Amino acid sequence: MPLIRPCADLRNNYNEISRICHETKEPMYITKNGGNDLVILSDEAYEAMVKTKQEIEENKINQLVGEYFNKHYANLEEFKQDFLTKIYQALKDVDEGNYQTMKDFCAEMEEKYDLS
């Protein structure tokens, strides 16, 4: 059951609201003029929520990287060989003057995709 309190309670009963948020580790909804206005969490609950969100995002990234790797490479040695080949080609391109500065690249992308 959601915890709901009017905004006046923030001023008049702050200590009680703080105690309830810390004890329940649940959000408390603060209303203003009869409508939802704020959601209050204890610092512990907020930090746990942020940590969980970060872990979910990291797991998604790791899963995508793993899927990409498995789709494109049979094993780690194949990946290493491909990586070294691309590094070698990049260094060769730089030596031969076949490159574009980041400033020029960004300007080209801004113009191409109308990002300015």
pLDDT band of residue 116 (cuts 50, 70, 90) is confident
The yes-or-no verdict on residue 90 having pLDDT over 90 is: yes
pLDDT for 10 equals: 92
Query: Residues 61, 26: one domain?
Result: no
Mean pLDDT of 99-104: 94
Query: Residues 66, 99: one domain?
Result: no
Query: Residues 78, 116: one domain?
Result: yes
Query: Residues 79, 111: one domain?
Result: yes
Mean pLDDT of 85-104: 95
Query: Residues 37, 59: one domain?
Result: no
CATH assignment at residue 30: 3.40.1620.10
Query: Residues 67, 99: one domain?
Result: no
The yes-or-no verdict on residue 84 having pLDDT over 80 is: yes
Per-residue pLDDT tens digits for 1-50 = 789 999 999 999 999 999 999 999 999 999 999 999 999 999 999 999 99
pLDDT for 108 equals: 94
Mean pLDDT of 108-112: 94
Q: How many domains does the chain contain in total?
A: 3
Query: Residues 82, 101: one domain?
Result: yes
Beta bridge partners of 40: 28
Mean pLDDT of 84-97: 96
Residue showing tokens 């020029």: 104
Quickly list DSSP for 16-41.
HHHHHHHHH---EEEEETTEEEEEE-
Q: Give the list of residues 6+ apart from residue 57 with CB closer than 8 angstroms, or none.
A: none
The whole domain housing 98 covers 74-116
Query: Residues 62, 86: one domain?
Result: no
Beta bridge partners of 10: none
The yes-or-no verdict on residue 85 having pLDDT over 90 is: yes
